[in-house]
């Protein structure tokens, strides 16, 4: 087993598209999930947060019920899929770390917290962290795996 970290689900398109990030040292693979999975995860706000592959254990298992079960099954599969298969799978978005300028995490006033991927070419993609409770877990994971790309969120307002 490699040292991959699985983060998710993260959301785009107003919650109608969900993604899991499979984070390796040299690449992030964003894997889209199906429409109904996305709707169920968005509505339940389960947001499992972060899963450390080689270290084991589930950090931020905040959800209950079938949403948690479905997400746990997805995470298990993503932990087991060969890296080459993830890189070549149709629909997956591959971010090579050498091409990423920054990974920024932001708390927003209205809406869900955000993870923003910005490339050196100036392309920017925003992913929402629906389960706001998982935001700190996602922040810690991104900082641990990609410390040079990480842009810290401002401190929580008291």
Mean of the per-residue pLDDT values for the chain?
A: 77
pLDDT value of position 35:
59
For residue 158, tell me if it sits in a domain. no
Query: Looking at per-residue confidence, does 10 or 105 come out higher?
Result: 105
For residue 111, tell me if it sits in a domain. yes
Report d(CA 94, CA 22) in Å as an integer. Answer: 10
Report d(CA 70, CA 75) in Å as an integer. Answer: 9
For residue 156, tell me if it sits in a domain. no
Q: In total, how many domains does the chain have?
A: 1
pLDDT in tens, 110-123: 777 889 999 999 99
Whether the pLDDT of residue 54 is over 60: the answer is no
Q: Is the pTM above the cut of 0.75?
A: yes
For residue 120, tell me if it sits in a domain. yes
For residue 31, tell me if it sits in a domain. yes
* Structural domain for 80, as ranges: 5-151
Whether the pLDDT of residue 138 is over 80: the answer is yes
Query: Looking at per-residue confidence, does 111 or 39 come out higher?
Result: 111
């Amino acid at each position: 087993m490699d040292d991959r970290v699985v983060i998710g689900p993260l959301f785009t398109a107003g919650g109608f598209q969900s993604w899991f990030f499979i984070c390796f040292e040299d690449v992030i693979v964003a894997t889209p999930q199906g429409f109904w999975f996305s709707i169920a995860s968005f509505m339940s706000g389960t947001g499992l947060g972060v899963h450390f592959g080689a270290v084991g254990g589930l950090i931020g298992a905040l959800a209950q019920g079938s949403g948690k079960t479905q997400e746990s099954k997805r995470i298990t599969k993503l932990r087991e899929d060969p890296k080459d298969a993830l890189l070549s799978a149709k629909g997956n978005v591959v971010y090579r770390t050498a091409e990423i300028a920054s990974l920024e995490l932001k708390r927003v006033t209205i809406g869900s917290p955000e993870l923003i991927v910005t490339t050196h070419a100036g392309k920017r993609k925003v992913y929402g962290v629906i389960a706001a409770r998982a935001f700190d877990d996602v922040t810690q994971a991104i900082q641990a795996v990609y410390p040079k790309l990480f842009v810290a969120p401002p401190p929580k307002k008291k």
